[in-house]
Structure 1
């Protein structure tokens, strides 16, 4: 009985994930708040689903910023799960516009892989049954993005938009190839950072709201695997930002 209850619970959590969002869960678009050469920031974020991300950005030259980011999600047991791991790097430029405004643009390249195994419905979540869905995939992802922000004494608000082309190295359902080789995504986001000023100038809290949409506007497919990959999820993340260059302030 305990095994049956665990199967129902894990199956339900995985199904909620997969019915509420895509198999593809991108890293949140970057918007590093770097204004001059020598500045840096380190960001750590988490999602309600349990997915976590981290990134670091630095300006080695005037108007130049480089960034590296990664994220992972592990969930469930060996028999029922949803997992994804990603890494990316990017380079870009920024420009201060005065009165607290910052404008920037970046381009980069990422890698990722993931998988999910779950029952199609709860009636089949029995100890001796076999999951009907077993997705495995890996991808490469070039992307470009632009962002804008406004900083005041205690808050920073901003928005960004990323265009990505996800290129699948492999995508299978129960070991059978899925006929989806690439997809284009448009990923807008808005964010709010709080804190800093005279108390802890090197630390801010952060909230990010983002979407991942099919750039072509077509998500429906009779193939369940393609539909699960092309869904258009919304994400909310919470985290903190550390600015190492402000430690001495």
Structure 2
């Protein structure tokens, strides 16, 4: 647990300071829906300048349907060629299930697909090449990337008190680089599988219609260590690097108003 928290903090700080990333993870779902007819609408902001929004509904007992969008921006694409910028827009559609275990525990899972469009320009994120004299040369990137995503998530929430709940969610995401270029050169790679755990703390006064959430998460590629990798000149490396985030969000449960609670 200590290693996970340290990795989230350092990765999130690095992403915040760097400001540029081609792959951007979406916030884990982990909806707090316990019965048919409940609706959860969420919004969240991360320290890496990403905004997420989602809506999750239970049309039938134990069934979830969900739609989510995410947007991240930084810098200006119109700036000169040496300036850095990054922007990412994506969506996901999911179906899933939930199983309350008494009043204190809630387990669930979701699976779905989505697509992202990312544009980024930056220099030297740790990958380098060497010229004929052996001097280090940072690699410049200018990505225009469209990639598909297939995801699966499981989560568990523990109701610690009437107001407070804690939980852990873990997502698996497969990326498929459908239309990616770096400095106008096509980038090709096989499917990339990432794992994305997230810890969250939620506060919901008196079981009311509004809930606040703080979360720490990370995203990494199975079997990949960017510090030791030998593919530093491969642009597809940018879709395998680790990423962390911290976010603050709010959820609204309008069904509680409909029910007069």
Structure 1 length-normalised TM? 0.84
Task: Name structure 1 gaps, 5 residues minimum.
Answer: 1-12, 122-130
CA distance in 1, matches of 2:104, 2:186: 50
Cα deviation for residue 156 of structure 1 reads 1.3
CA distance in 1, matches of 2:176, 2:118: 14
Deviations 1:20-51 (A, max 9, x none): xx521111121011000001111100011221
Task: Name structure 2 gaps, 5 residues minimum.
Answer: 1-14, 126-138
CA distance in 2, matches of 1:187, 1:49: 16
1:24 aligns with 2:23: yes
CA distance in 2, matches of 1:132, 1:101: 48
CA contact (8 A) 1:171 1:180 kept: no
Matching residue of 1:149: 157
Matching residue of 1:104: 108
Cα deviation for residue 120 of structure 1 reads 4.2
CA distance in 2, matches of 1:232, 1:238: 21
CA contact (8 A) 2:48 2:245 kept: no
Cα deviation for residue 110 of structure 1 reads 0.8
Deviations 1:61-98 (A, max 9, x none): 01101110000112111233101000001001111111
Matching residue of 1:163: 172
CA contact (8 A) 1:14 1:81 kept: no
| 2:237 match: secondary structure | helix
Root-mean-square deviation (CA, aligned residues, Å) is 2.0
Matching residue of 2:87: 83
Matching residue of 1:229: 239
For residues 73-222 of structure 1, the aligned pairs below 5 Å read: 73-77=72-76, 78-79=78-79, 80-120=84-124, 132-151=140-159, 152-197=161-206, 201-219=208-226, 220=229, 221-222=231-232
CA contact (8 A) 1:14 1:76 kept: no
CA distance in 2, matches of 1:31, 1:88: 14
CA contact (8 A) 2:22 2:145 kept: no
CA distance in 2, matches of 1:43, 1:15: 27
Greater CA drift, 56-65 or 177-186: 177-186
Cα deviation for residue 60 of structure 1 reads 0.2
Deviations 1:126-157 (A, max 9, x none): xxxxx942111111111111110012301111
CA contact (8 A) 2:112 2:151 kept: yes
Cα deviation for residue 57 of structure 1 reads 0.3
Cα deviation for residue 234 of structure 1 reads 1.0
